[in-house]
Homo-oligomer: A and B are copies of this chain.
Amino acid sequence: MRTSIATVCLSGGLVQKMYAAAEAGFDAIEIFEPDLIAAPQSPEEIRALASRLGLTLDLYQPFRDAEGVDEAAFGDVLHRAEAKFRLMQRLGMDLMLVCSNVGTATVDDDEVSAGQLRRLSDLAATYGIRLAYEALAWGRFVDDYRRSWRIVELADHPNVGICLDSFHILSRGHDPKQIEDIPAEKIFFLQLADAPALSMDVLSWSRHHRLFPGEGSFDLPAFLGHVLRAGYDGPLSLEVFNDTFRQTDPVRTARQAQRSLRWLADRTAELLGEEAGPLPRLPEVTAPEAFDFVEIKAADTSGVEVLLEQLGFDFGGRHRSKQVRLWTWGSARVVCNDVPSASPEPHIAAVGFDVADSDPAAERAARLMAPPVHRRTYAGEQALRAFTSPDGTEVFLSHAEDWIGEFDGGVSRPDGNAARIDHVNLVQPWHSFDEAVLFYTSVLSLTPQPTQEVAGPAGLVRSQVMSSPAGGVRLPLNLLPNGQQGQAQHFALACRDIIEVVAAARERGLRPLKVPGNYYDDLVARFGLADDLVATLRDLDLLYDRDADGEYLHCYTETVGEVFFELVERRDRYDGYGAGNAPVRLVSQAG
């Protein structure tokens, strides 16, 4: 099947949008009328450009307030439509989107709407144009695809069919299953959009919060499954707009869109149990269940190495050809990379995910248009597969056994408290948050958990955890408040007995982030903890959380450059991150 994107999805002028769509590999575009009106190019020039770029112009949209009106008003509709039909001829286009009436409808009668659509179709036919009628979720009378289909059936004209838009259907909670009852040849067009679970008026929801499939809460694979079972074989087109990517680079947004479609098509084929999907299938990759390593980069990482040693890491050796040192503690591996040209502040530059067979994983990432990372390797060294994630952090698909031999001179002591990396917390700039959710969903097959909000002294931080099925990989993505940048990233090390670990670390000079005394007074009120436990927590600056599944003890190091560390102990089946303690941490860090 062909892929298409509406120009309203992309920022910039029409020509810029067309270049972006073509570059991302789309076959077609929908022309959003205001984009054409504001463009300095003539319709003929746009048509010629599309042809040069290999894009077909599949849908002209939207034509509003066409039916359900009185006869006088319908005369104006025909006049307005004919001007647009002539314009479409100049563009070489033959399909127009007609939305259900929002503004001018006065007649709530299927026969009337059908009769007017039929007359509009008669006129359209003389220009060789077909009409795709769509029920908007906020249509005055027609706001349900089942009703718009009934009207199309009544209109009974070869030049009118239906347009299905997942947002308009799923936002209203309408069951998409009945799509399967619509004859394929009457489904003229398909528009796909996801959205977060929000409870707000559907028009604002649509206007500000649509997302690409895989970024929100709608079950798009199930939706597309119904459309495919109906026999639809037209373009898969995205119509998505929100406050974020109206203003981001259109080339980047177009690639994100294409990634979304490829992921969706693959998931849908999987759901339908079909070998061939609507788009070429992707190599199947199970989600990694462990972090392979974290890389810290800076002009000088020695401050981080002091911290690592205090925490309990062992020196794991020097890389044989690069200014890179490995630190290990149990299965936790941290690579410190001194790069004179890098940002001088230590930061998390890369995260390795433990992937037993990196070839299909890398092939999948490439097919999902993840930008590859190239690092120089020398003879005998493992060329690791890596891609750049939306926030710039490099994602490695790796396996320690393949590369650890390149490090010489390390030591490793047995340690009953041997740690592993529990989670890596990546702070996202506002414009790459949703894109990051799609990236980790599609490329690594991680699953987004429900979003949470945490109050800090300078605003709410939105947090969404991406995790593997067994919880071996946990990747909280934090969205900073409006206008803020550069909060530190961190990663957490899980150990068996945090009290023992922190006590020993303090002997080695570690100074955990200071926790205020009022916090411990509140702990007593909230949880009724034993006095000696509270005294220990207070003494070691440990934070505490408890829920029905278990307990969570944790503490933070001070921040070095743009990174800090967390130590955690999960008791029983505690599955959270101590979110209730985040305000205390954020205030102490701001302190």
A residues adjacent to B (C-beta < 8 A):
11-13, 33-34, 36-43, 76, 79-80, 83-84, 87, 198-201, 204, 207-208, 243-244, 246-247, 430-431, 453, 455, 457-460, 481-484, 514, 516-519, 521-522, 524-526, 528, 583-584, 586-588, 590-591
Contacts and interface: CB of A to CB of B under 8 A. Distances in A.
Contacts of A455: 34, 246
Nearest to A521: B87
A430 B40 CA distance: 31
A463 to B, nearest CB: 15
Contact of A83 (B39, B525, B586): B525
Contact of A584 (B38, B80, B459, B591): B38
A71 B243 CA distance: 48
Nearest to A203: B199
A464 B577 CA distance: 41
Contacts of A483: 247, 430-431, 482-483
A247 B430 CA distance: 15
A40 B525 contact: no
Contacts of A587: 13, 38-39
A534 to B, nearest CB: 12
Nearest to A17: B457
Contact of A38 (B246, B247, B430, B588): B588
A181 B482 CA distance: 43
Quick one: copies of this chain in the complex? Answer: 2
A255 to B, nearest CB: 19
A525 to B, nearest CB: 3
Contact of A243 (B431, B460, B517): B460
Contact of A13 (B207, B484, B590): B590
A519 B40 CA distance: 9
29 contacts: A11-B457, A11-B459, A13-B457, A33-B522, A37-B516, A38-B457, A38-B516, A38-B519, A38-B584, A40-B516, A40-B517, A41-B516, A42-B518, A43-B518, A76-B528, A198-B200, A198-B201, A199-B200, A199-B201, A207-B453, A207-B460, A243-B459, A243-B460, A243-B482, A246-B459, A246-B481, A247-B458, A430-B482, A483-B483
Nearest to A517: B42
Nearest to A484: B247
Contacts of A458: 11-12, 246-247
Contacts of A201: 198-200
B247 A519 contact: no
Contacts of A246: 455, 458-460, 481
A201 B453 CA distance: 16
Nearest to A586: B38
A199 to B, nearest CB: 4
B40 A514 contact: yes
Nearest to A524: B83
A458 B17 CA distance: 12
Nearest to A205: B200
A42 B528 CA distance: 21
Contacts of A207: 453, 460
Given A38-B518, A198-B204, A208-B460, 13 more contacts: A11-B458, A34-B583, A37-B518, A40-B591, A42-B518, A43-B518, A80-B526, A84-B525, A246-B459, A247-B458, A247-B459, A430-B482, A431-B483
A286 to B, nearest CB: 36
Across the A-B interface, the 3 shortest Cβ-Cβ residue pairs:
A83-B525, A200-B200, A199-B201
A243 B481 contact: yes
